[in-house]
Amino acid sequence: MKSAGALAGCKVVDLSRVLGGPYCTQILADHGAEVTKIEPPSGDETRGWGPPFLGDTASYFIGVNRNKRGMAVDLSQPAGQELVRTLLADADVLVENFKPGTLEKWGLDYDTLSAAFPRLVHCRISGFGADGPLGGLPGYDACAQAMCGLMSVNGDADGEATRVGLPVVDMVTGLNAAVGILLALNEREKSGLGQFVDMTLFDCAISLLHPHAANFFYSGKTPQRSGNAHPNIAPYETFETQTGPIFLAVGNNTQFAGLLRVLSAEHLGEDPRFVTNAERLKHRDALRAALGALLASKDAAVLADKLLRHGVPAAPVLTVPDILSHPHTAHRSMVMHEGDYHAVASPIKLSRTPASLRRLPPKLGEHNEG
């Protein structure tokens, strides 16, 4: 029997589109919240962000909209606005990512709604927030990566600033939004009142700047791109092997000694250039050359497994198909299938009330009636 989920009984009205909001509400829905997704009559634009498609719906939409009821509603019309108010009458949470000012125009802003529904937790996801020098302007993941410093530290040292190859800002904003909503719901148990959860891509992108912001605060030096190498640790980067790249993430002297034992290269540990992490950082190029010679003839997967079992963090660099078919992915139940539906499962594992699949992603307007 499927668990009803940790959030069973929690009602969420989801007016959001694209990624940050839908990712947030899918987290809540996976854990039992009753989420009603409201789309414009034309649909969430990501329904068309393909190929690939399943039927007439793009994989992009399918990936972040399971476990939700779906309705198509024109919020610019009084009847649509009244329907939302009806849904909010017994809702716990409203999630939206309209440009600040839009819901105000329709009488669905926080001040108006909180007066009518004082227990409502209202979460807005926006680019920059409603006020300040950039207040009200639209925000997008790639632009946030560019503006907030992420691109400046991503890429090869002699290459150009590079976007992270997935919408990390949108997704971490959605994750932070889910956390913020749960914090507000927890506080409501004491106060009896909802509150406004103000989430921005701008803030969340800046929050990802560890350790680069901390390094800047205490060194005064502008962080630079270093490819796969870590700015504070060595060896902590990819190395080539006979079968492909391996990532070594050697975070302390004990792990470094373990690496040398596995490679039968204990003599490197006696080299004064490599005795401490600070010295290894100073002599990173020499260390990389020495380790590269030892690794060139190895099998990446076999060596990574051996290193892990000796307490040394290491991993082969796998492709998306590789990891989705990996036996540990199956063991962790991180891929779900139902008929033609395939998706990455919830990573949040609860012992008594686990996440489950209760609804497939809705067709546009599927639940307008009933």
Q: How far apart are CA 272 and CA 274, in angstroms?
A: 5
What's the CA gap between 345 and 214, in Å, rounded?
33
pLDDT of residue 370: 64
Domain covering 11-208+334-344 assigned CATH 3.40.50.10540 in the classification = yes
340 among known catalytic residues: no
Look at residue 3 in the predicted model and tell me its pLDDT: 84
What's the gap between Cα 179 and its chain centre?
A: 12
Predicted local confidence at residue 2, as pLDDT: 80
User: For residue 268, what pLDDT is reported?
Assistant: 96
Superfamily of domain 236-317: formyl-coa transferase, domain 3 (3.30.1540.10)
Q: Who contacts 239 (Cβ-Cβ below 8 Å, separation ≥6)? A: 245, 246, 247, 248, 288, 291, 292, 295
Distance of CA 226 to the CA centre of its chain: 23
Contact 365, 70 (CB under 8 A): yes
pLDDT at 307: 97
Is residue 92 within 8 A of residue 103, CB to CB? The reply is no
What is the structure's pLDDT at 38? 98
pLDDT by residue, tens only, the chain of 370 residues: 688 999 999 999 999 999 999 999 999 999 999 999 999 999 999 999 999 999 999 999 999 999 999 999 999 999 999 999 999 999 999 999 999 889 999 999 999 999 999 999 999 999 999 999 999 999 999 999 999 999 999 999 999 999 999 999 999 999 999 999 999 999 999 999 999 999 999 999 999 999 999 999 999 999 999 999 999 999 999 999 999 999 999 999 999 999 999 999 999 999 999 999 999 999 999 999 999 999 999 999 999 999 999 999 999 999 999 999 999 999 999 999 999 999 999 999 999 999 999 999 999 999 998 6
Instruction: Concatenate the DSSP letters of all residues of 42-98 into one string.
Output: T--GGGGS-SSEETTEEHHHHTT-TTEEEEE--TTSHHHHHHHHHHHTT-SEEEE-P
> Which member of 92, 111, 170, 203 is catalytic?
170
Residue spans of the domains in the chain: they are 11-208+334-344, 236-317
